[in-house]
Structure 1
Amino acid sequence: MSRSSSLTLRNYVDSKAPVLAWAVVTLIALSLLALIISLQRNLDLRIDSQTAKIEELAQLPRGEYLKPALLGYHHLGADGLWLRLLQVLGKKKNTADEYEWLYHALDVVTTLDPQYAYAYYVGGVVLNNYANRVDLSNRLLEKGHRENPDEWNLPFLLGHNHYFVLGDAQKGADYISTAARTSGAPDFLPGLATRMHAETGNPEVALEFLEALWRENPDLVVREKLETRAKEVIIERDLRTLERAIEQYRTQHGMVPNTLADLVSTGYLSHIPEEPFGGSYDLNTKTGQVTSSTHPTRLKVFRRDLEGGI
């Protein structure tokens, strides 16, 4: 073969190299897809197809490895896996291992498509309420919150998990506050966050939170509601101040003061705070309890484990 012919052939091969490389990669991807379909068909032939579908999830490679193999079609891959997950989520009482596999599949779906906010939400609910795996629920929700900071319902669920399930009222309140500051959050969230902070003994934090919300909301109706809520928090703060002074008085004198004014005359308080709604603070001399004449019910999150709670 002449030198010119050899160069021509080499140039031809070089020009076709990208096409050949793409063809090889495409062939590999199609082979992987065919393998998945084959596995699915074999599993569906098993007697317990529901269990088979869940076991299939355990065979999924990690999302970090699967994503590049999908050649840019990772969103489509996430949709396909999500549809498969919907066939098994909450369909039966699963074993501990099966819930681990479900979590793995949810992690793969949300790695392929990190903005799949609905998958985080549903997965978080299922893992907590069906599997009793608040650890896996929180892990998935925290991942979703990092990837989707504009979704209010993810920190809302985290707040619920920490407050109601883990008993960490402070952390729960922090997450609810985050959710309340997110665009699109429902109107009830600021009030809920405020009550949670007040219950954990942080009315000052609640007031700061309300002030920040007030500054960020130019709507007059919203600001009016926030001002009302702030007054309710001030009542809670004042009641706690009065209760501390009454307890100090009781410790030193062995009895409850006859009036709140006695706390001032004996030096336990510099003054009696004004009730922000124009009412008064009333002392029960038998019990030592103090109440507001306008808001006799204290700020407290309605807990399921308390009588009358939800």
Structure 2
Amino acid sequence: MRTAITIVVALVLLAGAARLQAVRERWYPPALEEETAMYLESAAAVRRISGPYAPLVADLYWIRAIQYYGGTKRRLSPAQGGDATSGAGPGAASPTDDRYALLYPMLDITTTLDPRFNIAYRFGAIFLAEAYPNGAGRPDLAVQLLQKGLRDRPDKWEYMEDIAFVHYWYEHDYLAASQWFEKGAEAPGAPWWLRSMAATTRARGGDRAASRLTWETIRQTTEIPFLRQDAEQKLLQLRALDEIDALQQVVDQVKARTGAAPEDWASLVRARVLRGIPVDPRGTPYELAPDGRVRLSSSSRLYPLLVEPPSGTERR
């Protein structure tokens, strides 16, 4: 019962945090001191103080972590004038970038107070691993959080599955991903497809067909709405990568024929090379750079696309 209530609270807060912050910032300047206050930073100290109320305090810290994540994500969005291209580039935050610095400590406190807080581990790992600026860009901390959960529940195949996906999608470490899929498959009650995922990952690594199969499997099998939405987002990002490749071929052909890159999409529409201005699966027009490179707009809801490993790269 508590898990169901927590899922509902988490989803409502994730959906509403940005809206509430937008209303507030129309009338008041951002209170940075309030946003970065974590109350207490020591998980052990919080647990001692909380005593028998530790689960309740864990809920409060979890709600605070969601608000912190949602508010930070919104402030970094291009629509709010945030610097979406800072840090180490799309997909990773700079080690010196502290704009999500309190996220892991909040999650650490939450899961120390309640070591079996399933949603905090799984959602928290997504918040940490998600490519910057949509998340902390710290897959290493995502794995660390999930492994902490496994120390208390070593047979929790869902955490092993999540670790595998972090290695697969965010770190392109396909050997580690296949090993964690295999570990998950051996856990009691694990679904049959984890063993298939281990074999597919080991054989095909990070090609798009394998990635698409991975996320489609999650979309169809997960019982958690947020994880399903995340899988749908990844599938749309893969579709955008395919569309960018197709558009790049068109632009390269025009460039080879005319000796110059097209000025803009409109010129290709006038020349009847394209039927209309190409847009990504979320409806934002693709960008055409002066040198002829096709890329996703930083204002797209699919931004940033994760950097794919170069073709022919040896799998780790």
- For the aligned pair, the TM-score class normalised by the smaller chain equals 0.3 to 0.5
Greater Rg over alpha carbons, structure: 1
TM-score (norm 2): 0.45
Q: What is the TM-score of this pair, normalised by structure 1? A: 0.46
- Which structure has more RCO (C-alpha within 8 Å, separation ≥ 6)? 2
